[in-house]
Structure 1
């Protein structure tokens, strides 16, 4: 396996282009409560991006997970998610919203939940309060207690 590192990045045209290529949202990328990363290979090339939004002291929204088109279908999305989850506070409840990748995220321990099971801090994000379609699946990461 190639050497991969997760490096913090600002919102950029490259991040927006990668998200757009995967049909992901770009309308609400800016904000002090959001952090983004690039998955960089040993040659310095960007393989993918990820991000999260801190919603309150107990809840985080995983967002903006994308592998750039030329690197898709090589298992790199799995590594990207693993490295991103490792950046999150261990005690935080981690949520996400997806319209097409629920089976992929289930392999990490995410399970679908009903909208009324998500905390208000998650539901009040721009993604879940209006940008994502109502049909999006909301998922919560099941982790062992800390």
Structure 2
């Protein structure tokens, strides 16, 4: 099945926050403009959301990836992560990081490799997620992507 992900707009904020809260994910650090976020709407219902926050010219943080409970298990998260990764590659990001307590197996199946938090790149170490929004028990996973050919 194909889904049509759209860039999130500030008007989507309350629906995104509700989905993240229902998924036990933090909302206090969401960017005001929701830049880098994609959503999937089904009528008036927000079915999924996720974003990539650029941390430096080459590194991005995959964050706030959530699918509404009735829509889980249908491949939406795979398709959403594909769409986010495509946007990240198009913007020149070559390293994607993820902090998670729940989707480690999913992320590893998608090519993300767990690394010790002590080996976190500096760009990740300074984020609010790394410094406290995500618990110390959150796995840190990294996916290196080849730089696009010029």
Calculate the TM-score normalised by the size of structure 2: 0.85
The worse-fitting range, judged by mean Cα deviation, of 68-77 and 132-141 is 68-77
Contact 1:6 1:83 in 2 (8 A): no
Alpha carbons of structure 1 residues 59 and 73: separation in structure 2 relative to 1, 3 Å: same
Q: Which residue matches 1:97?
A: 99
Segments ≥4 residues shifted beyond 2 Å: 2-11, 30-35, 43-47, 89-92, 142-146
Shift of 1:91: 4.1
- Between structures 1 and 2, the one with greater helix share: 2
The RMSD of aligned alpha carbons is: 2.2
What is the CA–CA distance in structure 2 between the aligned matches of 1:62 and 1:48, rounded to whole Å?
A: 14
CA contact (8 A) 2:100 2:140 kept: yes
Residue 118 of structure 1 and its aligned partner are, at CA, apart by 1.7
What secondary structure does 1:39 align onto?
strand
1:91 and 1:75 map into 2 onto residues whose CA distance is 24
Q: Which residue is 2:128 aligned to?
A: 126
- Number of aligned residues: 145
Q: Decide which moves more: 66-75 or 4-13.
A: 4-13
Match of 1:86 in 2: 86
Greater CA deviation, 6-15 or 77-86? Answer: 6-15
Shift of the 53–34 alpha-carbon distance from structure 1 to 2, 3 Å rule, reads farther
Conservation of the 8 A alpha-carbon contact between 2:50 and 2:65: yes
String of CA shifts for 1:65-110, please: whole Å, max 9, x gaps. 1112221121111111111111103443110100111000111100
Could you tell which deviates more after superposition, 83-92 or 55-64?
83-92
Q: Distance in 2 between the 1:31 and 1:5 partners?
A: 20
Give the TM-score normalised by the residue count of structure 1. 0.87
1:115 maps to which of 103, 114, 117: 117
In the TM superposition, residue 54 of structure 1 has moved relative to its aligned partner by: 1.2
Partner of 1:28: 29
